[in-house]
Amino acid sequence: MSLVANTGKLAGRTLFITGASRGIGKAIALKAAKDGANVVVAAKTAEPHPKLPGTIYTAAEEIEALGGKALPCIVDVRDEKQVQKAIDEAVKKFNGIDILVNNASAISLTGTEQTDMKRYDLMHNINTRGTFLASKLCVPHLKNSNHAHILNLSPPLNMSPHWFSIHVAYTMAKYGMSMCVLGMSEEFKPYNIGVNALWPKTAIATAAIEMLTGDTSTSRKPEIVSDAAYAMLCRDPKIYTGNFAIDEDVVKEAGVKDLTPYACDPKNVDKLLLDGFLDEPHTISHAFKSSVRRYHTTAVNRSEKPSGGQIPTLFDAIGKSITPDLVKKTQAVFQFNVKGKEEGVWHLDLKNGDGACGQGEPKNAPDATLTMDSNNFADMFAGKLKPATAFMMGKLKISGDLQKAMKLEKMMKSLKNKV
């Protein structure tokens, strides 16, 4: 599914794409393949992954089926020799490199204390160092091209402390990619190499998001990013450089008037999950915001918010809704560290016995600990704010088992009419 028409401008061009065996990287590769481009699939996955579909070889087959030429290369972007070898093979096979897409990335949305140094190093070595390394080694060949681009899949440099406070290690690693754009776009101007960044407005339905949240119904398809990347890579690099573009804006500029087909679930087109590093939640609809306001108004009118606060009332309703079937399906213990006006610690045990909930820490060690403001907490348990949405927007911090934390979403659907 593509809404930006292919023009043939990338025919015969050679793209070196990191992390192109699946997800956004592969979508960009397939879009270029329709022009008859040459694509170097530079990724680690040579053998099928038990949970993630696609290898460099299956991606190469799809590229060639669409009319492109492919060169699958086993590349860990942390390894300088592997990157150099893949570049040498690309130049030998395709007589040069015109476009580098730095797509490979590692993610861990954890706070400082929860980020182990192995994960910190992985993110910085793949995101920042990998981008710098691939760019450094490709530049000598890009200088020989008359249509040279570097495109980094990285966010605008938003200096709001919020985006550092919720996952500082990941933010630093992604901003490292963006700083490469800021510096290299100016550095390589004399060589007519366009260096730009592209970032999604919303969550994109990739394997990473599915593993992270367990749900892609409020995401868009990777094709919105590949359409945007294609439009950017077709532009004249002599004049188009140093931009931090958002996919939605790019495809609109390219003539797409209705973005609905990009949504994984058209019913959620006005409730899409906003991606990180973007301050204005444009994709959360006015209707959605209004429903949150209606909840607060209704709660007050029905006297559901006692003098002691909303949260005791919420847990009273939750306690009445616990069933043996809910315990059996969930199998997790949650601790809630509530901040703000109704600060306190609460628990929900959906793992032991008949289940239990109430104030204070759980008797059994929690599988996941969730920290958030009391107002957001009330919205979440009223079904007005999804845990995945709250997490991605930085309104919810999670330590422990992320997958079990996201099980709350299914539980909340059953509570929606009772809380």
DSSP string for residues in 341-381: GG-EEEEEEESSTT-EEEES--SSPPSEEEEEEHHHHHHHH
Topology of 288-415 in CATH?
A: Nonspecific Lipid-transfer Protein; Chain A (3.30.1050)
pLDDT in tens, 318-331: 888 888 888 888 88
- As a whole number of angstroms, the distance between CA 64 and CA 39 comes to 9
**Statement: residue 419 has pLDDT above 60:** no
**Statement: residue 153 has pLDDT above 50:** yes
In this prediction, residue 72 carries a pLDDT of 98
Separation in Å, CA 356 to CA 25, 82, 263, 308, 339: 45, 53, 38, 21, 22
Which of helix, strand or coil describes residue 190?
A: helix
**Half-sphere CA count of 367, side-chain side, radius 13 A:** 18
pLDDT in tens, 207-221: 766 665 667 888 999
> What superfamily would CATH give domain 14-268?
NAD(P)-binding Rossmann-like Domain (3.40.50.720)
Question: Is 123:79 a contact under the CB 8 Å cutoff?
Answer: no
- Return the structure tokens found at 81: 């020799």
pTM: 0.74
Q: Which residues are catalytic?
A: 170
Residue 361 amino acid letter: E
In this prediction, residue 311 carries a pLDDT of 83
Can you give the residue ranges of every domain in the chain?
14-268, 288-415
DSSP string for residues in 239-280: T--S-EEEHHHHHHHTT----GGGBSSGGGTTBPPBPTT--S
Element (H or E) spanning 291, and its range?
A: helix 286-301
Average pLDDT of every residue of the chain = 87
- As a whole number of angstroms, the distance between CA 297 and CA 314 comes to 16
Question: Is 273:219 a contact under the CB 8 Å cutoff?
Answer: yes
